């Protein structure tokens, strides 16, 4: 099941980002800020009682008739299009404004049903605060105070009654083999690479029911191994080569990342690393997915340009030292076969299971090499480690006062586990638990 998508629209200052933060706070900083591409739209993942959804803070429908930026409005409306639920926020303190009317009008013309959310109802009678907004003609109205997290929960309950009853199972698991997501900005070469990765394989394309915001899942075999390629570029949906390339969709990208075992982030080497590339990589890490980087269009680049890209990679990507980096030409096919080696290595690392004895041995070896520090007069004690999960590997470290372990020591532990267990291509999650 693709995660439900909720779009927040409304004038500036009505409380969209406050509500966005409330809805996404269960997962710190999981915010893909695709600035430039999407102006100031923000995407985040929300969790509520084991269910997950995507929230978009559109930011683009200002309702300011003077300065309504057409491009921003267009982009916000694209987000509105992709959403399952649209929440139109208004400010219960400021009262109904001309801007609210304008936005209501835009939404109406757009033909997307929305719910009205009257925010900032704290410190006043909520019904009184909401009264004047009924003139906007919405049937579904929620009264909330986002900054006090009031009304948010019951709003979610009514938005997703079905969703909340039944915890999500991992639908992606029905696809065979290693699930490879190919993601990247528009025009970096995703379609070209997708075709290369599939090669001449005869593939059966299962089009997911739903909208163009869904990726296509393509199961195939290569050298006797099974894979499912998650095609965000819509390559195989096109009936012929002349059909227009699908519009780039961030939601599609985010869902592909979540559903993949290994994500190949495609970067246009000729543009160098741009901020959106970094946001995408950041998102893959937050999601805990394995990562392979493909710097594409390497053909025909000058030696100086190649050197400069490599320097930039060293300078700006130190935080993904564990990920393989390939310099490829999807167009000519060079370097593409090697991607498969990295994909396998990353997948194996992400899925391996280690016995508690082995992890504890490594932990105690690390401690011997480097004593944990003394905090508030007592030395932090690390006793044993066990594995809490895979994809990404989770290593749970037990001891005393472990929550006081400084970051430097945590990094030392991560490096030690990585080296000894030969974990490559995937992030590792550490969890520290104190107790006797
Ligand atoms: P945005 O521009 O729509 O994203 O609005 P923000 O989320 O930045 O909020 C604008 C201002 O309203 C901030 O100062 C918030 O602290 C405040 N605010 C947001 N929600 C509430 C609320 O429920 N009650 C009150 N009193 N203030 C709020
Ligand atoms: P997508 O939007 O990310 O799916 O990108 P496409 O695969 O449609 O590629 C965008 C453009 O870049 C097309 O004109 C491709 O022919 C071109 N392109 C893709 N890969 C390469 C490459 O490795 N080298 C060169 N020179 N051009 C490429």
Tell me, what's the pLDDT at 109?
Answer: 85
Residuewise pLDDT in 10s, the chain (436 residues): 567 888 999 888 899 888 988 887 644 333 444 433 444 567 777 777 667 788 888 775 655 544 445 655 666 777 788 788 899 999 999 999 988 998 898 888 888 789 999 999 998 888 888 899 999 999 889 999 999 989 998 898 888 765 544 555 566 777 889 999 999 988 899 989 998 998 865 555 555 444 556 778 888 888 889 999 998 887 655 555 455 555 667 778 888 998 999 999 999 999 999 988 998 898 898 888 999 999 999 998 999 999 999 999 999 998 888 999 999 999 999 999 999 999 999 999 999 999 999 999 999 999 999 999 998 888 999 999 999 999 999 999 999 988 889 989 999 999 999 999 999 999 999 999 887 5
The count of other CB atoms within 10 Å of the CB of residue 29 is: 9
C-alpha distances in Å from residue 75, one per residue of 2, 57, 59, 116, 250: 22, 12, 10, 21, 12
The bound ligand whose nearest atom lies closest to the alpha carbon of 329 is 2
What is d(CA 186, CA 267) in angstroms, rounded to the nearest whole number? 10
ipTM exceeds 0.85, yes or no: no
Could you confirm whether domain 172-351 is CATH 3.40.605.10? no
Give, for 349, the enclosing helix (H) or strand (E): helix 336-351
The bound ligand whose nearest atom lies closest to the alpha carbon of 235 is 2
Ligand 2 binding pocket mutation candidate from 187, 216, 301, 335 (most atoms within 8 A of CB): 187
Question: Could you tell me which of 248, 267, 261 has the C-alpha nearest to residue 330?
Answer: 267
C-alpha distances in Å from residue 354, one per residue of 91, 177, 426: 53, 21, 15
The CATH superfamily of 356-434 is: K homology (KH) domain (3.30.300.20)
**Which residues are annotated binding-site positions for GTP?**
10-17, 57-61, 119-122, 184-191, 231-235, 296-299
CA 82 / ligand 2 centre spacing (Å): 26
What is d(CA 347, CA 338) in angstroms, rounded to the nearest whole number? 14
Please list every protein residue whose CB sits less than 6 Å from any atom of ligand 1. Answer: 10, 12-18, 119-120, 122, 145-148
What is d(CA 76, CA 83) in angstroms, rounded to the nearest whole number? 11
Pull the structure tokens for residue 395.
């290593």
Verdict on whether the full-model pTM lies above 0.80: no
Nearest alpha carbon, ligand 2 atom 6:
189
Between helix 356-369 and helix 407-421 the angle, nearest 10°, is 130
Backbone angles phi, psi at 88, to 5 degrees: -100, 110
Nearest alpha carbon, ligand 1 atom 15:
15
C-alpha distances in Å from residue 276, one per residue of 16, 71, 78, 284, 427: 23, 19, 18, 12, 20
The bound ligand whose nearest atom lies closest to the alpha carbon of 40 is 1
Tell me, what's the pLDDT at 47?
Answer: 73
Pull the structure tokens for residue 155.
């709003």
What is d(CA 116, CA 105) in angstroms, rounded to the nearest whole number? 13
Whether the CB-CB separation of 178 and 227 falls below 8 Å is answered with yes
Nearest alpha carbon, ligand 2 atom 10:
187
Q: C-alpha 215: how far from its chain's center?
A: 15
Ligand 1 binding pocket mutation candidate from 13, 142, 152 (most atoms within 8 A of CB): 13
Q: Where in the chain is the domain with CATH 3.40.50.300?
A: 5-160, 172-351
Ligand 2, atom nearest to 266 Cα:
3
Whether the CB-CB separation of 85 and 115 falls below 8 Å is answered with yes
CA 193 / ligand 2 centre spacing (Å): 8
Contacts of residue 349, Cβ cutoff 8 Å, sequence gap at least 6: 290, 393, 422, 423, 424, 425, 426
Ligand 1, atom nearest to 10 Cα:
3
Q: Where in the chain is the domain with CATH 3.30.300.20?
A: 356-434
Tell me, what's the pLDDT at 26?
Answer: 44
Whether the CB-CB separation of 16 and 10 falls below 8 Å is answered with yes
Tell me, what's the pLDDT at 28?
Answer: 39
Indicate the DSSP class of residue 393. Answer: T
Please list every protein residue whose CB sits less than 6 Å from any atom of ligand 2. Answer: 184, 186-192, 233, 245, 296-297, 299-300, 329-331
Beta bridge partners of 83: none
What is d(CA 330, CA 298) in angstroms, rounded to the nearest whole number? 9
The count of other CB atoms within 10 Å of the CB of residue 214 is: 19
Q: CATH: 3.40.50.300, 2.60.40.1180, 3.40.50.1980, 3.30.450.40. Which one for 5-160?
A: 3.40.50.300
């Amino acid at each position: 099941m693709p995660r439900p998508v909720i779009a927040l629209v409304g004038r500036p200052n009505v409380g969209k980002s406050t509500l966005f933060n409330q809805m996404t706070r269960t997962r710190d900083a999981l915010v893909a800020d695709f600035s430039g591409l999407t102006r100031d739209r923000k995407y985040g993942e929300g969790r509520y009682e084991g269910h997950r959804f995507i929230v978009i803070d559109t930011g683009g429908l200002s309702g300011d008739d003077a300065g309504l930026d057409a491009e921003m409005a267009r982009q916000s409306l694209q987000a509105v299009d992709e959403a399952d639920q649209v929440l139109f926020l208004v400010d219960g303190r400021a009262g109904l404004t001309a801007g609210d009317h304008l936005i209501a009008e835009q939404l109406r013309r757009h033909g997307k049903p929305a719910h009205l959310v009257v925010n900032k109802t704290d410190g006043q009678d909520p019904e009184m605060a909401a009264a004047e907004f009924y003139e906007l003609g919405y049937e579904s109205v929620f009264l909330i105070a986002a900054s006090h997290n009031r009304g948010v929960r019951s709003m979610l309950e009514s938005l997703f009654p079905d969703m909340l009853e039944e915890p999500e199972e991992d639908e992606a698991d029905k696809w065979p083999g290693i699930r490879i997501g190919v993601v990247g900005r528009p025009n970096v070469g995703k379609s070209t690479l997708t075709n290369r990765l599939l090669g001449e394989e005869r593939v059966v394309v299962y089009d997911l029911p739903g909208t163009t915001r869904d990726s296509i899942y393509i199961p195939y075999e290569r050298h006797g191994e099974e894979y499912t390629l998650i095609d965000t570029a819509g390559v195989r949906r096109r009936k012929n080569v002349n059909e227009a390339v699908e519009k780039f969709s961030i939601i599609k990208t985010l869902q592909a990342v979540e559903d993949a075992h290994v994500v190949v982030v495609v970067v246009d080497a000729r543009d160098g690393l741009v901020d959106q590339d970094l946001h995408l990589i950041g998102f893959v890490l937050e999601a805990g997915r394995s990562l392979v980087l493909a710097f594409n269009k390497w053909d025909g680049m000058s030696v100086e340009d190649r050197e400069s890209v490599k320097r930039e990679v060293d300078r700006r990507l130190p935080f993904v030292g564990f990920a393989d980096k390939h310099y490829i030409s999807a167009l000519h096919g060079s370097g593409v076969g090697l991607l498969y080696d990295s994909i396998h290595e990353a997948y194996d690392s992400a899925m391996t299971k280690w016995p508690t004895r082995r992890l504890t041995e490594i932990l105690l070896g690390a401690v011997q090499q480097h004593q944990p520090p003394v905090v508030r007069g007592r030395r932090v004690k690390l006793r044993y480690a066990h594995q809490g999960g895979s994809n990404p590997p989770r290593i749970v470290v037990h001891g005393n006062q472990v929550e006081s372990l400084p970051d430097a020591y945590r990094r030392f532990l991560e490096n030690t586990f990585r080296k000894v267990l030969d974990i490559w291509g995937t992030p590792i999650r550490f969890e520290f638990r104190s107790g006797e």
